[in-house]
């Protein structure tokens, strides 16, 4: 595996492999089993695999955890090597953003829902870096986890709307044995909070089951929230149900429903979701 830190190096290597199918897994590092599921699928599907590790400052707002976001490039390098990655792109912020163009991407209505409601500008920053990475890597297939369901929906919509020549591949959420979704931010949980965090997934399941029994989303959402509030010390940011992937209000015509939640603990904000 080659570790590349500059855009010019990456472009040169991609040019040499342009006849191959290229699988791409963009990450912010501190790899866990969820990331490895993406890398393993990319390795199976493609001739050439590129992974990126870049903690993107454009998607962090004021008072968010940019400086605290966990990093361990040596461990990540070994895990990527073991997963069969061909190129690990690990640029600096100045390499990715050498100057401020003044040109911005505005996600619009899709960014006002769920996480976007409490993280204004976050998804604009996600699409900023994804656009750059897609242009540089020119992937045949790009792999994203369903745990970040809103991000995945926005990227799918963006790619389809602007005719990016890449196939977005969804990978199911990878969970701990007790149901907690794998996340780099789980390391910030106290022992008590880690025990409590399993209730996010349980609350989503409860909301889903209640919806299936009653067809009343208001009751279903209330049941889910009450479960989190009664069983954790966290503060519910949201627990909602929307159509997927267009993230609109659920109607009688809705086929796929996303039940999603975000909860603030003392040093971590955790998200989780399930699709019906």
Residue list, annotated binding site for beta-alanine = 59
CA 85 to chain CA centroid, nearest Å = 20
Contacts of 90 (CB under 8 A, 6+ apart): 3, 4, 5, 52, 53, 54, 73
- Two structure tokens written together for 26: 């963009």
Annotated binding site: 28-35, 59, 145-148, 151, 174, 182-185
CA 119 to chain CA centroid, nearest Å = 14
Annotated binding site for (R)-pantoate: 59, 151
Active site residues: 35
Annotated binding site for ATP: 28-35, 145-148, 174, 182-185
């Amino acid at each position: 595996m080659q570790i590349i830190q500059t855009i010019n190096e990456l472009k040169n290597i991609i040019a040499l492999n342009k006849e191959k199918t290229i699988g791409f897994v963009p990450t912010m590092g501190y790899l866990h089993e969820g990331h490895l599921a993406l890398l393993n699928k990319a390795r199976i599907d493609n001739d050439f695999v590129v992974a990126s590790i870049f903690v993107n400052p454009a998607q962090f707002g004021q008072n968010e955890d940019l400086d605290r976001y966990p990093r361990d490039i040596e461990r990540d390098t070994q895990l990527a090597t073991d997963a069969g990655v061909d190129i690990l792109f690990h640029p600096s912020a100045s390499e990715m953003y050498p100057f401020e163009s003044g040109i911005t991407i505005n996600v619009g209505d899709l960014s006002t829902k769920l996480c976007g409601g409490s993280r204004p500008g976050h998804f604009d920053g996600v699409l900023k870096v994804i656009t750059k990475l897609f242009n540089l890597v020119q992937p045949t297939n790009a792999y994203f986890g369903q745990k970040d369901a809103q991000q995945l929906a926005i990227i799918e919509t963006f790619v389809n709307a602007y005719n990016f020549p890449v196939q977005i591949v969804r990978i199911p959420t990878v969970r701990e044995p007790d149901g907690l979704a794998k996340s780099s931010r789980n390391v910030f949980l106290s022992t008590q909070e880690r025990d409590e965090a399993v209730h996010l997934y349980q609350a989503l399941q409860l909301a889903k089951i209640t919806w299936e029994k009653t067809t009343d989303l208001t009751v279903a959402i209330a049941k889910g929230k009450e479960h989190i509030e009664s069983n954790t010390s966290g503060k519910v940011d949201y627990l909602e149900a929307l159509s997927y992937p267009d993230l609109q209000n659920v109607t009688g015509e809705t086929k796929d429903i996303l039940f999603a939640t975000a909860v603030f603990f003392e040093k971590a904000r955790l998200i989780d979701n399930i699709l019906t």
